[in-house]
Amino acid sequence: MRRGAALLVALACLACTNNPYPGADDAERVYYQAFGNPPKTLDPQVSYASSDQAVLANIYETLLEYHYLKRPYTLIPGLAAAVPEPEALPDGRVLYRFQIRPGVEFAEDDAFLIGGEGLRTRTLRASDVEFALKRIADPAVNSPVIETFRKIDGVLEFRKRLVALREDEPDFAALRIDDQYRQAGPIRGVRVLSDTDIEIVLAEVYPQILYWFAMPFTSPVPWEAVAYYDGQKHDGVERPPFAEVAVGTGPFRLARYDKRTRITLERNPRWYGALHPEWGAPGAVYPSEGEPGDRERGFLRAAGRELPFLDRIEMRFEKESIPTFTKFLQGYYDASGIIKESFDKVITQDRLSPEMAALGMRLEKSVQPTVRYLGFNMLDPVVGHGAGDRGRKLRQAMSLAVDVPEYLRVFRNGRGIPAHSPIPPGIFGFDEAYVNPFRAVDLDRARALLREAGYPGGIDPETGKPLRLSFDTPDTSSQARLNFLFFVNAWRELGLDVEIQATNYNQFRQKVRNGSYQIFMWGWIADYPDPENFLFLLYSQMGQTKSGGPNTANFSDERYDTLFREMKDLPNDDARMALILEMVGLLETERPWIELAFEESYSLFHEWTHNVKPMGLAIPTLKYRDVDAPRRAELRADWNQPIRWPAYVLAIGMVVVIVPGVVTFFRERQ
């Protein structure tokens, strides 16, 4: 009985730990991260959300990918053996030839058993790339990028044939998905030449297509996985849908998927980097060169080593930001953003506070390929094109009144880089030395411009009152109103009367589509790192009200359009830069936008995490990261010393209560 009581005490004391992970994990190279938004889908041809990409982009691979360290962003071979060069065809079409690395295999999965080979994996084929492109074209898949892939010759014709067969032949839709696609015929611009060779033919010049072959949308997908998880319902076996599984060729495989609690990725032993280290493929080896400063920051210490470094990735669902950040401080997550409530304690004068630095933490700042701006509806008769020089000077004056550094300090904890053009750092065309003369606060010059525009002191001569303008916003919350009031108050300094018209997002979007707005606040996140993806936001053919495009300002300028058409298809050279600078100069004067800022992310990492260089783009980076597991275990133990006295009190109480009962029980038995 005494041994039993002692055991109770020992068990109670051992229970005094808040470590949420098994002790056996302490010695393994496991990367721990939290997620606050469950993935919506793991279907690579459908997903457009960063919460999805955090999972699926580490499982599926693409023909091309990005160099981990170089900036501006640089494409390198992925599943393809080389980055293809465009070949102009006599009829104006453009050809790209991809050669896929031979011997690449999919991760093991039961889906491959339906292929008839009796194996749980198979070799990647060029036809798997074709299958992925056909899924993008398939209206039943509902891929959000169909508009981009219409540029591939014959995509729309394939789409129409597939729809017609499903509508006209009742039994067609019951066919296995690969048979449906086969009977609908090939896409004219997708030519499978062999198991390793495929040609993509574009109906028009579009060099940015290569960036799309570095996105999960074009990840090769085995037909067996779609047929097995979405098609084989008649055999009575319960299976998750294809949108909740992942069968790719990447460095990690999906080991557990409870999207509202826990997601686990583990090293994929079938990955080509593991099976064929002798290839020395760029995407399977840590890079040996980067941009200036990378060596000093420790980003080249792993140069030349085989990827990936991690054995497992553990993602845990966390609803609230404060408990998540607390767990990070305890060492139970390897990385974290900075919550608003703790920002001033963590960051001091734009640097990591001494307290955080003493804990061995690192702050990594990265400017994301985004731009936030205030825009004018150029179709409006007061602030737009129709007002001529008067409207131009009004826009210039309003631009001169907006203090972006102060806005970032008040509302963004100083995070962000004031923008002087639409092109952010890291993108070709960004000129660090360029200063937009209308993006520095100058109220005297602004007032002079208003006088020249016929609005002295901000007064509308037709009414004798301050010029009344409307500022449409998609958020009715009190916090958002404070944000928007910052700009309203700035314009009030000029004597202008700008009224906030707040609606919900859907109502706001409807007003934008109808063109019934004057001033708005908006932003853009790059799909790919090319200046075309920012400068097209002001191309007249992309006008929101007339064509539904992303040119929400409805800006239209003949010279700008001419420059854009010439610039968009050029390589990144001096000629392209000269065109970009002329376009930026034109926007400087016309002021369809008041550029605000390029978003900047702040991330904290513990000292045991290595090779962490933020990318900005939503692309996979976990194969490059590493952890020092013993050091992590040591610091966790130091930071989380258990408080044992409650356990001892509890154990003594248990002994006091239980032991007399046990003694009585044995006496009665005797």
CATH number at residue 170: 3.90.76.10
Query: Same domain for 69 and 209?
Result: yes
The pairing of beta strand 94-99 with beta strand 87-88: antiparallel
Q: What pLDDT shows up at residue 657? A: 41
Residue 349: left if φ>0, alpha if ψ -120 to 50, beta else—which one?
A: left
Give the C-alpha separation, 10 to 19, whole Å. Answer: 18
pLDDT at 655: 46
Residue 8 has pLDDT above 70, yes or no: no
Domain final residue pick, 168, 198, 226: 226
* Final residue before a domain boundary, out of 226, 246, 266: 226
Least confident of 7-11, 207-211, 412-416, 445-449: 7-11
At residue 660, what is the residue type? P
Same domain, 400 and 507: yes
The four Cα atoms 471, 476, 477, 479 give a dihedral, to 10 degrees, of 0
pLDDT of 14: 41
Final residue in a domain of this structure, among 178, 209, 226:
226
Buried (b) or exposed (e) across 528-556, using 16+ Cβ within 10 A?
Answer: bbbbbbbbbbbbbebbbbeeebbbbbbbb
**325 in a structural domain:** no
pLDDT (average), residues 376-401? 97
Report how far apart the first and last C-alpha atoms of the chain are (Å, whole number).
Answer: 16
Report residue 112's pLDDT band, with 50, 70 and 90 as the boundaries: very high
Answer yes or no: is pLDDT of 105 > 70: yes
Do 70 and 198 lie in one domain? The reply is yes
Lowest mean pLDDT among 14-28, 163-177, 405-419: 14-28
> Parallel, antiparallel, or unpaired: how do β-strands 519-525 and 468-473 relate?
parallel
* Over residues 84-113, mean pLDDT: 96
Dist CA 514 CA 503 (whole Å): 15
**pLDDT above 50 for 334:** yes
Structure tokens at 275: 């099976």
Q: Do 104 and 207 belong together in one domain?
A: yes
Whether 77 and 215 map to the same domain: the answer is yes
The predicted structure's pLDDT at residue 117: 76
One-letter amino acid identity for 129?
Answer: V
Q: For the segment 415-464, what is each residue's pLDDT rounded down to a tens digit?
A: 899 999 999 998 999 999 999 999 999 999 999 999 999 999 999 999 99
In a domain, 427, yes or no: yes
Task: Single out the residue of 207, 217, 186 nearest to residue 46, CA to CA.
Answer: 217
3-class SS shares of the chain: helix, strand, coil, % to 5? 40, 15, 45
**10 and 70: one domain?**
no
The DSSP annotation for 381-436 comes to TTTSGGGHHHHHHHHHHHHHT--HHHHHHHHSTT-SEE-SSSPPTTSTT--TT---
**What secondary structure does DSSP assign to 299-363, as a single string?**
TTTTTTPBSP--SEEEEEE-S-HHHHHHHHHTTSSSEE---GGGHHHHEETTEE-HHHHHTT-EE
Residue 320 identity: E
- Whether the predicted pLDDT of 123 surpasses 50: yes
> Cα–Cα distance between 177 and 224 in angstroms, integer?
9
The residue behind tokens 């198991």 is 195
Look at 369 and 190; give whichever has higher pLDDT.
Answer: 190
Burial class (CB in 10 A: 0-12, 13-18, 19+), 641: exposed
> Has residue 564 been placed in a domain?
no
Among positive and negative, which fits the CA dihedral 246, 251, 253, 254?
Answer: negative
Q: How confident is the model at residue 595 (pLDDT cuts 50, 70, 90)?
A: very high
Q: Which of the pair, 232 or 492, is modelled with greater confidence?
A: 492
Whether 513 is in a domain gets the answer yes
- Is residue 272 scored above 90 in pLDDT? yes
Question: Domain check: are 145 and 72 in the same one?
Answer: yes
Q: Does the pLDDT of residue 341 top 90, yes or no? A: no
The residue assigned the tokens 């932003």 is: 523
Per-residue pLDDT for 659 more than 70?
no
Bridge-partner residues for 351, per DSSP? 348
518 and 429 share one domain: yes
Report pLDDT digits (tens) over 468-514.
999 999 988 988 899 999 999 999 999 999 999 999 888 988 888 88
User: Tokens at residue 392, please?
Assistant: 């131009």
Pairing state of beta strands 30-35 and 312-317?
Answer: parallel
Answer whether residue 318 is part of any domain. Answer: no
Which pLDDT value is given to residue 366? Answer: 86
Residue 119 has pLDDT above 80, yes or no: yes
Alpha-carbon dihedral 293, 288, 608, 622, rounded to 10 degrees: 110
Residue 646 is predicted with a pLDDT of: 52
Q: Is the dihedral of CA 453, 454, 456, 460 positive or negative?
A: negative
Write out pLDDT tens, residues 563-580: 999 999 998 999 999 999
In a shared domain, residues 443 and 507:
yes
* Encoded tokens for 641: 């010393």
Which residue type does 398 have? M
pLDDT in tens, 31-77: 999 999 899 999 999 998 888 999 999 999 999 999 999 988 999 99
Say what the pLDDT of residue 231 is.
Answer: 84
- What range defines the domain where residue 503 resides? 370-528+589-598
511: CATH: 3.10.105.10
Specify whether 68 is located in the same domain as 203.
Answer: yes
pLDDT of residue 593: 97
- Number of domains, the chain: 3
Give the per-residue pLDDT at 547: 84
Residues 87, 9 share a domain: no
Distance CA(43)–CA(131), nearest Å, equals 13
- 237: part of which helix (H) or strand (E)? none
Write phi, then psi, for 252 (nearest 5 degrees). -125, 155
Q: Which pLDDT belongs to residue 237?
A: 78
The predicted structure's pLDDT at residue 454: 96
pLDDT above 80 for 1 = no
196 within domain boundaries? yes
The reported pLDDT for the residue numbered 232 is: 67
Residue 658 has pLDDT above 50, yes or no: no
Q: Is residue 107 in a domain?
A: yes
Same domain, 77 and 178: yes
Residue 339 domain flag: no
In angstroms, the CA 646 to CA 638 distance is 20
Cβ-contact 255, 271 below 8 angstroms: no
- Check whether 3 has a pLDDT greater than 60: no
